[in-house]
């Protein structure tokens, strides 16, 4: 009899919980939603997040604002969001770096991307384009590799910092080919571009938005794209995979996450709403004009994808090594 009463109690509790989550989904959101962005205002990630937030707010009929928490290669913002109340009112605009790269390259982590967050939706992705100065006698990746081998003392690549989307492809290419290519990190992207255009820095992997104008002017020459398929911005530029660099996929993906424990009904509602956001013509135009692309995946698909990416970058990090 006691066992029966316990089972009845559990059944009633389960029904109550189901009823609560249903009501919660129907009333959510009832207040302002904050989207934590782990990089500074004006960054590529910030721009994408603000476009997303504006459209999401219109769809949900509630204010959605961006809260920039920059620093620590995105770890400061990620840690802040991970510790927020799991009620759907604090979301995290995560990236490849915060969810897949940091765990394998940072010496200490204040958050666990697999345990501290639940996936909501993947939204966008963008590759990087390999460029060299037009002043160098290099027109193809094959010619680049020959030049690098012939000039071991001069061979180098620029980046905006260790572990970033501009660092990992260069470091990986060096390890993959066995050719020594010195990493030259910059705090100032403008100075980096100047040095690349002068030919003082041999090569650069960079998002299209930052180099398109220099390619259009003829100052930089595009050699290859690091996405899975060719870029709509540079359709005549071959992918690294086409050039027989297998599994050479780099760049960035962007998605929305929520603190672990956020009610599934709220996650589902947000995931569905974000699916509509990425079909908003204003959002699509803004995203594609910057060289990125809509790459939507609902919560379950993002969860599976993120874990695959996590393991992929574990392997890449094992080759590249941690920061000295």
Distances (CA, A) of 55 to 87, 140, 186, 261: 21, 41, 34, 25
Residue 309 confidence (pLDDT) above 50: yes
Q: What is the pLDDT of residue 16?
A: 43
Tokens representing 133? 């100065």
Q: Are strands 129-133 and 117-126 parallel, antiparallel or unpaired?
A: unpaired
Q: For residue 118, which phi and psi values (nearest 5 degrees)?
A: -115, 145
Residue 2 reports pLDDT greater than 70: no
Question: Where does residue 100 rank: exposed (0-12), middle (13-18), buried (19+ CB within 10 A)?
Answer: buried
How much is the average pLDDT of 141-152?
94
pLDDT of residue 42: 85
* Span(s) in the chain for CATH 3.40.190.10: 129-225
SS3 of 113, please?
coil
Per-residue pLDDT for 45 more than 70? yes
Q: What is the pLDDT of residue 13?
A: 44
User: What is the per-residue pLDDT across 95-130, written as a single tens digit (0 to 9) for each?
Assistant: 999 999 999 988 889 999 999 999 999 999 999 999
Q: Note the CATH architecture for domain 129-225.
A: 3-Layer(aba) Sandwich (3.40)
The reported pLDDT for the residue numbered 1 is 58
Pairing of strands 129-133, 203-206: antiparallel
Looking at residue 134, the DSSP 8-state letter turns out to be T
The more confidently predicted of residues 228 and 50 is 50
Q: Report whether pLDDT(22) > 60.
A: no
What lies within 8 Å, CB to CB, of 97 at 6+ separation is 73, 74, 163, 164, 165, 252
According to the model, what pLDDT value does residue 291 have?
A: 85
Residue with tokens 């982590």: 109
Instruction: Enumerate the CATH 3.40.190.150 domain ranges in the chain, comma separated.
Output: 18-126+252-320
Inter-residue contact 240 to 225 (CB < 8 Å) = yes
pLDDT of residue 43: 84
Mean pLDDT of the chain: 91
8 A C-beta contact, residue 93 and residue 45? yes
The predicted structure's pLDDT at residue 86: 98
Q: What is the pLDDT of residues 201-220, one digit of tens each?
A: 999 999 888 899 999 999 99
Q: pLDDT by residue (tens digit) across 257-296?
A: 999 999 999 999 999 999 999 999 999 999 998 889 999 9
What CA–CA distance (Å, rounded) separates 34 from 32? 7
CATH superfamily of 18-126+252-320: Bordetella uptake gene, domain 1 (3.40.190.150)
């Amino acid at each position: 009899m006691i066992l029966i009463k316990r089972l009845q109690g559990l059944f009633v509790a389960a029904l109550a919980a189901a009823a609560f989550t249903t009501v919660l989904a129907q009333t959510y959101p009832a207040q302002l939603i904050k989207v934590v962005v782990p990089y500074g205002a004006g960054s590529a990630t910030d721009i994408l997040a603000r476009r997303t937030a504006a459209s999401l707010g219109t769809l949900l009929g509630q204010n959605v604002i961006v809260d920039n928490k920059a620093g620590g290669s995105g770890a400061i913002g990620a840690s802040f969001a991970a510790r927020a109340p799991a009620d759907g009112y604090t979301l995290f605009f995560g990236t490849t770096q915060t969810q897949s790269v940091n765990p394998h390259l940072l010496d200490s982590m204040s958050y666990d991307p697999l345990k501290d967050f639940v996936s909501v939706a993947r939204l966008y992705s963008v590759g990087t384009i390999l460029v060299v100065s037009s002043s160098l006698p290099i027109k193809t990746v094959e010619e680049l590799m020959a030049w690098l081998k012939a000039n071991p003392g001069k061979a180098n690549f620029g980046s905006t910092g260790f572990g970033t989307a501009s660092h990992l492809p260069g470091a990986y290419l060096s390890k993959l080919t066995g050719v020594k290519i010195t990493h030259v990190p910059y705090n100032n992207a403008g100075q980096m571009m100047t040095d690349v255009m002068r030919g003082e820095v041999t090569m650069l992997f960079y998002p299209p938005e930052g180099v398109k104008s220099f390619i259009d002017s003829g100052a930089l020459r595009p050699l290859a794209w690091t996405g899975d398929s060719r870029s709509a911005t540079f359709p005549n530029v071959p992918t690294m995979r086409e050039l027989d660099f297998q599994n050479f996929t780099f760049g960035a993906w962007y998605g929305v996450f929520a603190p672990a424990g956020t009610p599934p009904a709220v996650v589902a509602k947000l995931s569905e709403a974000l699916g509509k956001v990425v079909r908003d013509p204003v959002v699509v135009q803004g995203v594609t004009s910057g060289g990125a692309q809509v790459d939507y995946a609902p919560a379950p698909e993002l969860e599976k994808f993120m874990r695959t990416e996590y393991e992929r970058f574990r392997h890449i990090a094992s080759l590249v090594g941690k920061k000295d």
